[in-house]
Structure 1
Amino acid sequence: MAMSPAGVMEGGAVPARPRLLTELLDRAVERHGDWTAIDFLGRTWTYAEIGEAVRRAARGLQDLGLKPGDRFGLCLPNTPYFVILYFAVLRVGGVVVNFNPLYTEHEIDHQIRDSGTRMIAVPDLKMIHSKVAAVAEGSGLETIIVCPMADILPPLQSIGFRLFKRADHADVPRDDRHVAYTSLIARVADPTPVARFPDDLAVLQYTGGTTGIPKGAMLSHANLAANSAQMLVHVGGERPFQERTIGVLPMFHVFALTTVLNFSVEIAAEMILLPRFDCPQFLNTMRRTKPTQFFGVPTLYVALNKVPPADLPDMSTLRACVSGGAPLPLEVRETFEARTGVRVVEGYGLSEASPIIACNSIEGVVKENSCGPQFPGTRLEIRGLDDPHQIMPTGERGEVCVRGPQVMQGYWRNPQATADCFVDGALRTGDVGYLDDDGYLFLVDRIKDLILCGGYNVYPRTIEEAAYHHPAVKEAIAIAVPDEYRGQAPKLFVALHEGQSLTPAELHDFLAERISKIEIPKSIEIRDALPKTLIGKLSRKELVAEEAALRA
Structure 2
Amino acid sequence: MSVAVWDSNYRHPVSWRTAFEALPVFELLDRTAKRIPDAPCIDFLGRIFTYETVAGLVDRAAEGFRRMGVGRGVKVGLFLPNCPQYVVAYYAAMKAGGTVVNFSPLYTADELAAQVEDSETDIMVTLDVAQLYPTIAKVLDRTRLKTLVVGNLGEVLPGGKALLYRMFKQRERVKFAIDAAHVNFKSLLDHGGLAAPPAIDVHEDIALLQYTGGTTGTPKGAILTHANLSANAQQVDSIDADREAEDRILGALPLFHVFANTCVLNRTMLRGGEMVLLPKFELGAALKTIHRRKITAVPGVPTMYQSFLDHPHIAKYDLSSIRVCISGGAPMPAELKARFEAKTGAKVVEGYGLTESSGVVSVNPYEGLSKDGSIGQPLPGTTVVLVDKDDPTKLAAPGDSGEITVSGPQIMRGYWNKPAETANVFVDGRLRTGDVGTMDAEGYLYVVDRLKDMIVVGGFKVFPSQLEDHLYANPAVKEALVIGVRDAYLGERPKAFVTLQPDTAATEAELLDWLNRHVGKHERAVAVEIRTNLPKTMIGKLSRKELVAEEKAKAAARNAA
Q: Equivalent residues in 2 for 1:149-298 (5 A)?
A: 149-199=153-203, 200-208=205-213, 211-236=216-241, 239-298=243-302
Deviations 1:456-494 (A, max 9, x none): xx9x9xxxxxxxxxxxxxxxxx99844569xxxxxxxxx
Deviations 1:186-223 (A, max 9, x none): 11253432111211210000014674211100001111
Q: Which residue of 1 aligns with 2:387?
A: 383
- Number of residue-to-residue matches in the alignment: 477
1:204 alignment partner AA: L
TM-score, normalised to structure 1, is 0.81
Change in CA separation of 1:429 and 1:531 when aligned onto 2, cut-off 3 Å: farther
SS of structure 2 residue aligned to 1:286: helix
Q: Distance in 2 between matches of 1:305 and 1:224?
A: 33
Q: Unmatched 5+ residue regions in structure 1?
A: 453-457, 461-477, 486-516, 533-552
Using the TM superposition, give the Cα deviation of residue 68 of structure 1 relative to its aligned residue in structure 2, in angstroms: 1.6
2:96 alignment partner AA: V
1:414 to 405, 415, 418: 418
Using the TM superposition, give the Cα deviation of residue 411 of structure 1 relative to its aligned residue in structure 2, in angstroms: 0.1
Q: Distance in 2 between matches of 1:531 and 1:15?
A: 58
Q: Which residue of 2 aligns with 1:75?
A: 79
Would you say the 8 A contact 2:258–2:355 is kept in 1?
yes
TM-score, normalised to structure 2, is 0.80
Change in CA separation of 1:528 and 1:42 when aligned onto 2, cut-off 3 Å: closer
Would you say the 8 A contact 1:377–1:404 is kept in 2?
yes
Q: Equivalent residues in 2 for 1:68-467 (5 A)?
A: 68-199=72-203, 200-208=205-213, 211-236=216-241, 239-308=243-312, 311-449=315-453
Using the TM superposition, give the Cα deviation of residue 372 of structure 1 relative to its aligned residue in structure 2, in angstroms: 0.9
Using the TM superposition, give the Cα deviation of residue 362 of structure 1 relative to its aligned residue in structure 2, in angstroms: 0.6
Q: Distance in 1 between matches of 2:320 and 2:147?
A: 46
Q: Which residue of 2 aligns with 1:30?
A: 34
SS of structure 1 residue aligned to 2:249: strand
Using the TM superposition, give the Cα deviation of residue 523 of structure 1 relative to its aligned residue in structure 2, in angstroms: 10
SS of structure 2 residue aligned to 1:126: coil
Change in CA separation of 1:405 and 1:531 when aligned onto 2, cut-off 3 Å: farther
Q: Distance in 1 between matches of 2:156 and 2:496?
A: 39
Q: Distance in 1 between matches of 2:548 and 2:437?
A: 28
Q: Distance in 2 between matches of 1:528 and 1:375?
A: 44
Would you say the 8 A contact 1:41–1:274 is kept in 2?
yes
Structure with greater contact order relative to length (CA < 8 Å, sep ≥ 6): 1
Q: Distance in 2 between matches of 1:203 and 1:339?
A: 38
Q: CA RMSD in A?
A: 2.9
Q: Which residue of 1 aligns with 2:486?
A: none
Deviations 1:323-365 (A, max 9, x none): 0011111111111011111110100110000121111111111
Q: Distance in 2 between matches of 1:285 and 1:37?
A: 16
Q: Distance in 2 between matches of 1:169 and 1:331?
A: 44
Using the TM superposition, give the Cα deviation of residue 308 of structure 1 relative to its aligned residue in structure 2, in angstroms: 3.0
Change in CA separation of 1:523 and 1:154 when aligned onto 2, cut-off 3 Å: farther
Change in CA separation of 1:326 and 1:528 when aligned onto 2, cut-off 3 Å: closer
